[in-house]
Amino acid sequence: MEKRWHLLMVVLAGLMLFSLQLVACKKKTPTPTPTPTATPTRTAFEAWLTASMGIGSLQENYRVTIETAAKGVPQPTSVTIEGQLQLKGNNRLDELTITVGTTTQTVREYLFKDKVYVATMVNGQWVVREATPPIFFNNDDSQAEFESLYKRGALVLAAGVTTKTIAGEKCDQVELTVDLTKLSALDRKYLLYIGGLSSISSMEAYSSAIASFDVRLCLLPSGVTLESETTLKLNGDALPADGIVSSHILTTLTHYEINPVIPDSIFVLPS
C-alpha cells in the first residue's frame, strides 16, 4: 500500500489542472484561432477553445479514475477521486476524496499563480504544506501552452467529431494526438504535467522518454469539458528501474456552474 500511495502523490500534483478544465481568466480577450480549412471537427474544437478563454470562474463536481503502470510493480495502480472544484482566475481549490483499494484519504489542493499547497486531514485538523513540484503551470500559462501546441501543429486533431451524452447532456467528442517531432523541451514538460507526472524525479529522463500522448475531450460550446481522457506512454528502457511507464486519466463532470460568484475567502489556507 505504501508503494501505491507514493505513486498516487507523484500523479496527484500534476493531475488537476488539465484533466478537469482548461479555463483562463475572464480578463483575457478571446482571440479566434485561424484555421486553413474549416471542418466540423475544427469548428467544434475551436468554438470550445475560444469560449473557455472567456470563463472567469467555475464550480465543478467531478469523478476521476487514474491508472499508472510502473516498471517495478506487477499490477497497475488504480485510484479513484471524487472532487469539488472552485476556480477563479489563477486561484483554485480542489477538495478531494481519494480511494486506493480500501483506503480513503481527504485532501485539499490549493493552486495559485506560482504556489501549490496540499492540506491533509490529521486528527480532525487540516495540516498544510507547500508542494514544490518540478513542473507547474498556473491556469493562464496552461491555457496558453495548450493553445500554442494546437496552433503549431504539435497537437493534431483527428478527423471526425462524434456526439456523446453524459448525464443527459450532449457534447462534441474530439481526439488529439501529439506530434513528437514538433515538441520543445517546455512542451515535453507540459505533457508530463498534464499527464500527471509533474513531481517525478529524473525529469530530463522522463521528458526524453515520452513515446506518445493522446487526449480525448467531450466539449460544450460554452467552454466546459464534460469529460477528458488522457493517455501518456513512455519508453521504459530510458527510465529508472521503478519508473512510471504509462498513465491513464479519465475525468467526468457530474455538475458544473459557469461564472458563479466565488468569494476570495474560499482560497485562504486553513490555519
Classify residue 159 by burial, with Cβ atoms within 10 Å: 0-12, 13-18, 19+.
exposed
Report yes or no: 146 and 22 within 8 Å, Cβ to Cβ.
yes
Report the alpha-carbon distance of residue 149 to residue 147 in Å, rounded: 5
Residue 66 lies in a domain: yes
Q: Which residues in the chain come in under a pLDDT of 70?
A: 1-38, 133-134
Residue 266 lies in a domain: no
Report the alpha-carbon distance of residue 188 to residue 142 in Å, rounded: 13
Report the alpha-carbon distance of residue 130 to residue 250 in Å, rounded: 27
In Å, how far are 13, 64, 103, 201 from 134, measured between CA atoms? 10, 23, 28, 8
Residue 16 lies in a domain: yes
Residue 250 lies in a domain: yes
- What is the DSSP-derived secondary structure letter of residue 159? S
Residue 154 lies in a domain: yes
What is the per-residue pLDDT for 28? 45
User: In one letter, which amino acid is 161?
Assistant: V
Domain count, the chain: 1
- What is the DSSP-derived secondary structure letter of residue 52? H
Residue 269 lies in a domain: no
**Strand 169-178 to 210-219 pairing:** antiparallel
Residue 271 lies in a domain: no
Radius of gyration of the chain (CA): 18
Q: Which domain holds residue 51?
A: 2-258
In Å, how far are 11, 107, 163, 198 from 15, measured between CA atoms? 6, 14, 26, 8
CA count, 13 A, side-chain hemisphere, 162: 7
Report the alpha-carbon distance of residue 269 to residue 119 in Å, rounded: 8
What is the per-residue pLDDT for 2? 41
What the block records as the C-alpha cell of 29 is 480577450
Residue 74 lies in a domain: yes
CB atoms < 10 A from the CB of 259, how many? Answer: 14
**Residues forming beta bridges with residue 93, ordered by sequence position:** 86, 110
- What is the DSSP-derived secondary structure letter of residue 75? S
Q: Which residues contact 251 (CB under 8 A, 6 or more apart)?
A: 19, 20, 62, 63, 64, 227, 228, 229
Report the alpha-carbon distance of residue 222 to residue 70 in Å, rounded: 38
What is the per-residue pLDDT for 151? 93
CATH (domain of 176): 2.50.20
